[in-house]
Chains A and B, each alone.
Chain A
């Protein structure tokens, strides 16, 4: 592999690392923060399943991003991922809700504008639609699951201690599913823009041949896993503390609802099944893991009485839908200008 390829990929890998460090908390934050699951166990399961999800089911959402903007050069992809990473950093610094999915889409549009490539408005509308749909769907799923689980627990008459043991196990399983779904859905944000540039030759190991896209998905998954293992502990503790007032049952439901939503927007298998059943399909689009969790928690809060809702968080989410892509788009546009005119790189 050429060292230049790695340099160009570094922005995507950095984005992957940041995603692992931050979004693992959406999957295991409450479990670890409330000490239902040890951080080491959570980090191990999370990193393993993130890589699996990225490598096995990551192609679907990545393809959609590729359709939004076919970034054909490595330098262009580098700046797109870097612009997304910088905007995620800046938005986080300002305490605003941020999603890597929204940042990368804004950055791709920035590239489209710089390269004077047309943006497919149909794909863009689908993507923006899913941003609104994602927390709403998560809330609806959480409400249904929460009601069903409460009904079950009421009738099962399990001992408090036994319920706790089952919940611990449930949080681990839900976390593993959540990590898989996170890897499958959000890997597109990390390496999606590099896929059209095909930076790697095919790699043959024994009987298996890994294409450039597959190698990218695996590498991106590993970057997320490194983020989980090196930097997620503090974030998990913080998220766990912030959401500490919700019960373990609600936490379990929130993680499951989040995971189902992320999986729905990433699974090609589900898409094929829906087509076969003659049902409308769900677009394969990278969505925000944080917003899926917040949507689920808000759904449960509404079920328990409207007073539990944190309106400021909701306001931040909506502001994020607009501010994040605009910021990322602007950074990408000006970044590409510098990369092309100062460093003499071919960016499209």
Chain B
């Protein structure tokens, strides 16, 4: 291997490394924007500030999509990390779906503009905080997979805890909604939002399960 191709190999490596890091940054950023978006909606409805957050998540999602495609192309074109390529692609794709869930929920709020009564605001806020924490712990786990796979288990454990807590909150919220005086259509609409938000934590848990296997494969 001559000096030039050696340099090419390492510059490609650096490039790919930063693309993966950037992809994970987008996901962390999107979770912050999602949390702020839901809080803004609960406080002020779908106003200008909410639109800013929605647009931010939208941009982050499409940027992350571009990065995902680039990463996939790099990995396959240059046959990089042949033994872990499938796992990395699986991880990136499933993480990408998390961004779609953030974006989809905010879009649904913008389109349907559900009326959320004061009594449910706290429940929605708590649920959003919990699912965002699950997502953040997952991103830390994913970062750890690339550098310190033996530590993935610690982050995954947190994801599981946050997911369980999110389940508890969402169940209580649904009980409260269906025990209220709202009409059935309104109850069904709010339940749908509860499930949509809770879905983020469920998905994070599913990805964490896969990540655990990928990490075991790396540490064996």
Contact = CB atoms under 8 A, between A and B. Distances in A.
Contacts of B147: 157-160
A164 B17 contact: no
Contacts of B220: 247, 304
A160 B13 contact: no
Interface band, chain B: 20 to 34
A161 B16 contact: yes
Interface stretch (B31-39, B79-87, B123-131): B79-87
Contact of B6 (A157, A169, A304): A169
Interface in B44-102: 79-84, 88
Given A160-B145, A162-B17, A248-B82, 4 more contacts: A161-B16, A161-B20, A165-B10, A304-B220
Contacts of A36: 82
A168 interface: yes
7 contacts: A34-B83, A154-B150, A160-B84, A160-B145, A161-B13, A162-B13, A164-B80
Given A160-B146, A161-B81, A169 B13 contact: no
B9 A165 contact: yes
Interface string B203-220: 000000000000000101
A269 B21 CA distance: 48
B9 A159 contact: no
Interface of B: 1, 6, 9-10, 12-14, 16-17, 20, 79-84, 88, 145-148, 150, 218, 220
A172 interface: yes
Contacts of B10: 165
A158 B82 CA distance: 17
B83 A247 contact: yes
Contacts of B88: 160
Interface string A35-61: 110000100000000000000000000
Nearest to B75: A161
A304 B20 CA distance: 30
Interface band, chain A: 10 to 19
Determine which residue in B14, B83, B148, B218 has the highest number of CB atoms from chain A within 10 A of its CB, and name it. Answer: B83
Contacts, number: 51
Determine which residue in A34, A41, A160, A164 has the highest number of CB atoms from chain B within 10 A of its CB, and name it. Answer: A160
A124 to B, nearest CB: 42
A41 B145 CA distance: 31
Interface of A: 34-36, 41, 154, 157-162, 164-165, 168-169, 172, 247-248, 304
B95 to A, nearest CB: 15
B94 to A, nearest CB: 17
B198 to A, nearest CB: 32
Given A158-B147, A159-B146, A34 B20 contact: no
A172 B1 contact: yes
A34 B83 CA distance: 7
A169 B80 contact: no
Nearest to A173: B1
A168 B13 CA distance: 12
Contacts of A41: 1
Nearest to B81: A164
Contact of B218 (A160, A168, A172): A160
Contacts of A154: 148, 150
Contact of B9 (A160, A169, A304): A169
B219 to A, nearest CB: 9
A154 B147 CA distance: 9
Contacts of A35: 79, 82
B1 A248 contact: no
Contacts of A158: 147
B7 to A, nearest CB: 11
Nearest to B20: A161
A243 to B, nearest CB: 12
B82 A165 contact: no
A247 B79 CA distance: 16
A216 to B, nearest CB: 32
Contacts of A162: 13-14, 17
A236 to B, nearest CB: 15
Nearest to B9: A165
A247 B147 CA distance: 17
